[in-house]
Amino acid sequence: MSDTTQVLTINRLGARGDGIADTPEGPIYVSYALPGEVVRVSIPAPDPHTGRAARSSTGRAEARATLIAIETPSAQRQTPECALYTRCGGCTTQHMEETTYREWKRESVVTALTRAGINTPVDALIDAHGTGRRRVTFHGRRKNDEDAIGFMAARTHALVPVDHCPVLDPDLARAPQVALDLAKLLLPKGKPLDIQVTATDAGLDVDIRGHGPAGEALRRILTGAAERLDLARLSLHGDRIVERHAATIAMGRGRVTPPPGGFLQSTALGEETLARLVMEACAAASTRIRRTADLFAGCGPFALRLAEIAEVHAVESGAAALAALDRAFRAAPGLRRITTEERDLFRRPLLPMELNQYDAVVFDPPRAGAEAQSHEIAKSKVPLVIAVSCDVGTFARDAKILIEGGYTPQRITPVDQFRHSSHVETVGVFTRAEIKKRRR
């Protein structure tokens, strides 16, 4: 069976920014299409063995079409800013004009909450792109004896070579060339590479994954390359090869040197915005905040700011991140005490008897959310809980747990630091209402 060509009318936008055509046979997803547009598409034939539609990256069957032409464009369509758009899989919404984009991204939070049974107002989307993303990961590949670095095409493992990316911070302007120069030293070994480049106060910080351990000869070669490329730090699988300058990031009054490859908010303005919302919630609390817990604390983007007003207990599973936080705290002036605890909060969340000593709890988990920890918070007496999340689905799940445990949402704010993507950060502020009597 061969692919078929159809003309469709796009009715709505999906959660990932796809245009969706509602047909008698079910929804058909079309990337880069907008509501109201009439488009000509190619629809893949069903699997010849099963007769079923192709499966998405999530494993679910879905009808997905490839855009061939736009017969009737939407007034909400704009010209993409990047020449690689639709080829590179990094951005998915450069064709949306600003108002449509902002409404769609905010609505993704509203929809997730509604599906979880939560009916509460959601603030307008805050633009936190700032000067651009301060961290990027390039993929390095060798094909036909040629070395290349770039991003992956959408829904494939095909490499799209990149020498410029408009969503990156200007401090990363030379990052593609740096990544390619380093890849040329390592790709002859035959292994594909992931090259993470971060803009720090002292210059570029690079961590390379995929090669394996470096012997003494390679370490000397990479040290020379770091000197030639004027890198602040160069690491291989988190193993520091050379640190020519302290690869610091300013966080409040602290200056943190994150561990190689360690987590960092995507944009500087994104981190500042999330922290500002956390601090505003503490300032608006009905009682004075004296002691706080920062769960999934990382290397301290919230803890180092919270310590300006209260004592902080930072809990994180990564020892290297906690060590970076502790060093920054000890060198920062005028902060209240920060204590740290290495602990896997997925397997061993803080219990109510531990939580009850705090006036406020902040948690910012990975994409999987904080389900186990949310259940324990819901059983606690903490008066103020601030949830920060990079995934609207797990945020809604965790928020529902808190609400069912007696918390009331005071403010839900979506924050956009991942411009031109479907990702959105969400900050939720919850206060303790009267504890409901639970049925036995």
For 291-328, the DSSP string reads EEEEET-TTSTTHHHHTTTSEEEEEES-HHHHHHHHHH
The 3-class secondary structure across 188-227, one letter per residue, is HHCCCEEEEEEEECCEEEEEEECCCCCCHHHHHHHHHHHH
For 33-61, the DSSP string reads --TT-EEEEEEPPPPTTT-PPPB-TTS-B
Annotated catalytic residue within 91, 282, 299, 390: 390
SS3 236: strand
Question: 49-82 burial by CB neighbour count: b if 16+ within 10 A, else e?
Answer: eeeebeeeeeeeeebbbebeebeeebebbeebeb
Q: Which amino acid is at 90?
A: G
Residue 150 to residue 141: CA distance in whole angstroms:
9
SS3 384: strand
Phi, psi dihedral angles at 10 (to 5 degrees): -80, 130
Active site residue 82: no
Tell me which residues are annotated as active site: 390
